[in-house]
Structure 1
Amino acid sequence: MKASHTGFNPEYQEDAPSIEEVAELSGYAILEFGATWCGHCKAAALAVESVLSKAGLPHIKVFDGKGKRLGRSFKVKLWPTLILLESGKEVARIVRPAETEEVIALLANIKA
């Protein structure tokens, strides 16, 4: 599974982790679903990068689309969708963030 464990990973990964691999994650992580050609993903990139590059969480960017099992298992319908996971389970999500405050609010769901 390709993930940036220190923050932002600029590329959506075609070789997405399996549902089982995601379920086995320990601690907090961010799953980001999107596509390199997606205008909403490009528009959100700066806000997402500016927050997550400082968060120190694993950030797994998954190329999503028709027939992609991981996105379907999380019922992703719009891009980008960022999902905060705790030990492989969804804690919170945001869809199409445009401002850094939205990404910060997502991370506010992390329990100290």
Structure 2
Amino acid sequence: MPQTLPYKERQLTRDEIDALDEAIVLDFGTDWCGHCNAAAPLVAAAMNGHAGVRHIKVEDGPGRRLGRSFGVKLWPSLIFVRKGQEIARLVRPGKQEDIEQALQALESAT
């Protein structure tokens, strides 16, 4: 089973995210969220083979501006971003295949 990392309390700003030139997956949630814990192995497995995509786990909740700027309402929310543009979004993903399809769309976006 792939190893999963904890959500990070340190918040990147929206400007920092928009300035990144690389393909990224923003993974909004919390370590105590049951849906997040259920999806974590699916996300980790799907990320294997996508070394060019950066996975950023963002702890979300009240007062967390980054999640609000992306309109996050449910956890986990995966937002696939390239050069500040949202390419795809998955909320509470239940299948690894859905995550892999979104990753492929992200990698093919220019």
- TM-score, structure 2 as length reference: 0.89
Aligned residues: CA RMSD: 1.4
**Contiguous gaps of at least 5 residues in structure 2:** none
Task: Give 1:64's aligned residue.
Answer: 60
Q: Distance in 1 between matches of 2:105 and 2:49?
A: 16
Mapped to 2, the partners of 1:12 and 1:97 lie a distance apart of: 17
Q: Distance in 2 between matches of 1:15 and 1:9?
A: 18
Using the TM superposition, give the Cα deviation of residue 107 of structure 1 relative to its aligned residue in structure 2, in angstroms: 1.1
**How far off is 1:9 after superposition?**
5.9
Q: Which residue of 1 aligns with 2:84?
A: 88
Task: Give the Cα separation in 2 of the matches to 1:53 and 1:65.
Answer: 28
Q: Within 2, Cα distance between the matches of 1:65 and 1:46?
A: 22
Q: Look up the equivalent residue of 2:90 and give its one-letter code.
A: I
Is 1:48–1:103's contact at 8 Å kept on the other side of the alignment?
Answer: yes
Gaps of 5+ in 1: 1-7
Q: Offset at 1:108?
A: 2.4
Other-structure match for 1:50: 45
Contact 1:82 1:94 in 2 (8 A): yes
Report the number of matched residues: 105
Q: What CA distance in whole angstroms lies between the structure 1 residues aligned with 2:16 and 2:48?
A: 23
Contact 2:7–2:29 (8 Å) recurs in 1:
yes
Name the structure 1 match of 2:35. 40
Q: Identity over aligned residues, as a percent?
A: 44
TM-score, length of structure 1 as denominator length: 0.88
Instruction: Pick the aligned partner of 1:97 from 86, 93, 96.
Output: 93
